[in-house]
A and B are shown apart, each in its own frame.
Chain A
Amino acid sequence: MIFVKDKDIVIPGDILAENEYHTGRGTFKEENKICSSVVGLIAIRNKKISVIPLQSKYIPKKGDVVIGEITDIRFSMWNLDINSPYSGILPASEVFGKEKRELNSVFNVGDVLFLRVVDVDEVKKVKLGLKGRGLGKFRDGILISITPTKVPRLIGKKGSMINMIKDHTKCEIVVGQNGVVWVKGEPAMERIAEKVIKTIEKEAHTSGLTDRVRDMLSELCGEEKEETPEKENKELPE
């Protein structure tokens, strides 16, 4: 027995289904009932019911890429704010290897880095690293924060949404899984990108978003509106 359908908005405590269904993320089981634990959108895959939260904090996971800001320099490590209830540490060994150097000769408080979550231990100590393509310190540009659960929507299927923003604004854009986004380009274009990203965050759960974002980008960037004949077909909910 199921009481909801795909894309329904549910709130904590709502009974979603009974008996033959399975619990996905954002749900919990009570006796034979599956209930929602968060405010979010229903996603049904086969017999598994999940609720995609509309709002949440970033909880670090091994392997994620995040954008963090250095908040403190300690003995042989940096402390970073990663827009999460848990701050991260970047050990000096991640940067220097075995070489001994002054930490503040490389990164200082206020620097913004693109990093990988190397490990999260059971006491929620978050170890960060810089080994990997594209990781390192940002120079110039602006930062935008969005709800971490909206990150997949901002990126889009195979990067379609984020690439569209990059194409129109000619900005470099890096999205951290912690909801922090870095944008660098012409100042006016940076602001357009910011506006568009904030709109995507606000309307992530609505249908027809891709088309609205495309129109918004064309208008803000002062381009002629593209006449897309196949648009009719795209009005389907995403």
Chain B
Amino acid sequence: MNSIVPEITRRSIINLINNEERADGRSLNEYREISLENGVIEKSEGSARVKIGNTQLLIGAKPQIAEPFPDTPTMGVLMTNSELLPMASPTFEPGPPDERSVELARVVDRCIRQGEVVDLEKLCIIEGEKVWMIFLDIHVLDYDGNLMDAAVLGCVAALMNAKIPNASVVDNEIILDQEKMSPLPINEKALMCTFAKIGGKFVVDPSLLEEDVMDTRISIGMREDGSICAMQKGGTEPITKDELMNLINIAREKTGELLKYLE
């Protein structure tokens, strides 16, 4: 099927939302059913499978020893990559990551980095020479809207269950003890909450159909204490300050709900 939304479907969604209703029966500020499974890929040091409604992602967290960036010689490195697999949607094409995929990876990366989820200072092995580099790979398996929130939730969960071997330095050589695995140094939890503006109203956790008809999307990354760590506006319609401030309040409440899945 093509991605042009039939006119009557568009109108039906907008009419429902104007009456504070949604096509799948949710209220405007309600998430779909969420499920989170940790450690699903034994070969990956950290992993999580997250489902929000029919959207399904698999995330792997894999550490590697690498050189630090020259401007942050004492800090570990976080690398976030995402693949919108052609299996996940008839509209995803095989090939190098397109702009949607790159945006997803970068926004998730910002949310986790600026949320200071991982204490990167503690991932330094030899200053200026060797640090842990953590790869976060987001594998999108089934796409039914709102990849951002699912990806951040899954990435944080994968980081939280990841284990790295103890690294010690003897005579400038790194010795990895595979017998002694320890969790990553987790500082904070950060999550993302996404809204779509449809027909003048905002809905949380847009489904694919809602994303297809939305005018604007706002994603808000927030830490446990309610401070904001990342934001991203998508879509072509403008948004007002009042609307934004209101969304931040809702995001705060919703972030609290999402945090429960990480317990």
Chain A residues with CB under 8 Å of chain B are: 69, 71, 81, 83, 108-112, 138-143, 182, 187, 190-191
Q: How far is the CB of A4 from chain B (nearest CB, A)?
A: 33
- Which residues of B have CB within 8 Å of A69? 2, 4, 6
C-alpha gap A109/B2 in the complex (Å): 12
Q: How far is the CB of B2 from chain A (nearest CB, A)?
A: 5
B2 and A142: CB pair below 8 A?
Answer: no
Q: How far is the CB of B198 from chain A (nearest CB, A)?
A: 15
Q: How far is the CB of A93 from chain B (nearest CB, A)?
A: 24
Q: How far is the CB of A201 from chain B (nearest CB, A)?
A: 16
Q: How far is the CB of A85 from chain B (nearest CB, A)?
A: 11
Q: Chain A interface: which of B15-23, B54-62, B163-171?
A: B15-23
- Which residues of A have CB within 8 Å of B5? 110
A109 and B8: CB pair below 8 A?
Answer: no
A194: nearest chain-B partner, CB-CB: B23
As a 0/1 sequence over residues 4 to 31 of chain B, the CB contacts with chain A under 8 angstroms (1 = contact) are: 1111111110011001010101000000
Q: A140-B11, A142-B12, A187-B15 are in contact. Are A110 and B21 (CB under 8 A)?
A: no
Q: A83-B1, A109-B4 are in contact. Are A143 and B19 (CB under 8 A)?
A: no
C-alpha gap A139/B12 in the complex (Å): 10
Which of B12, B21, B23 touches A141 (beta carbons < 8 Å)? B12
C-alpha gap A190/B21 in the complex (Å): 13
B7: nearest chain-A partner, CB-CB: A110
**Which of A69, A111, A138, A140 counts the most chain B CB atoms within 10 A?**
A69
A71 and B4: CB pair below 8 A?
Answer: yes
Q: A69-B6, A142-B8 are in contact. Are A187 and B21 (CB under 8 A)?
A: yes
B5: nearest chain-A partner, CB-CB: A110
Q: A81-B1, A187-B15 are in contact. Are A111 and B25 (CB under 8 A)?
A: no
A143 and B23: CB pair below 8 A?
Answer: no
- Which residues of B have CB within 8 Å of A141? 8, 12
Q: A142-B9, A143-B9, A191-B25 are in contact. Are A110 and B4 (CB under 8 A)?
A: yes
6 contacts between A and B (CB under 8 A): A108-B7, A110-B7, A142-B8, A143-B8, A187-B19, A191-B23
C-alpha gap A187/B8 in the complex (Å): 13
A112 and B8: CB pair below 8 A?
Answer: yes
B15 and A112: CB pair below 8 A?
Answer: no
A139 and B8: CB pair below 8 A?
Answer: yes
B15: nearest chain-A partner, CB-CB: A187
- Which residues of A have CB within 8 Å of B16? 187
Q: How far is the CB of A224 from chain B (nearest CB, A)?
A: 23
C-alpha gap A190/B9 in the complex (Å): 12
- Which residues of B have CB within 8 Å of A139? 8
B21 and A112: CB pair below 8 A?
Answer: no
B6 and A143: CB pair below 8 A?
Answer: yes
Q: Apart from A69-B6, A71-B4, A187-B15, list 11 A-B contacts with CB within 8 A.
A: A69-B2, A83-B1, A110-B5, A111-B7, A140-B8, A140-B11, A141-B8, A142-B12, A142-B23, A187-B16, A191-B25
What 8 pairs between A and B have smallest CB-CB spacing? A110-B7, A112-B6, A69-B6, A142-B12, A71-B2, A81-B2, A112-B8, A141-B8
A142: nearest chain-B partner, CB-CB: B12
Q: How far is the CB of A202 from chain B (nearest CB, A)?
A: 15
B12 and A140: CB pair below 8 A?
Answer: yes
Q: How far is the CB of A143 from chain B (nearest CB, A)?
A: 6
Q: A187-B16, A191-B23, A191-B25 are in contact. Are A110 and B10 (CB under 8 A)?
A: yes
C-alpha gap A140/B7 in the complex (Å): 8
C-alpha gap A81/B10 in the complex (Å): 17
- Which residues of A have CB within 8 Å of B19? 187
- Which residues of B have CB within 8 Å of A109? 4
C-alpha gap A174/B256 in the complex (Å): 44
- Which residues of B have CB within 8 Å of A111? 6-7
Q: How far is the CB of A81 from chain B (nearest CB, A)?
A: 5
- Which residues of A have CB within 8 Å of B10? 110
- Interface positions, chain B 178-223, Cβ under 8 Å from A, are none
C-alpha gap A81/B9 in the complex (Å): 15
B7 and A112: CB pair below 8 A?
Answer: yes
B13: nearest chain-A partner, CB-CB: A142
- Which residues of B have CB within 8 Å of A142? 8-9, 12, 23
- Which residues of B have CB within 8 Å of A140? 8, 11-12
Q: How far is the CB of A185 from chain B (nearest CB, A)?
A: 11
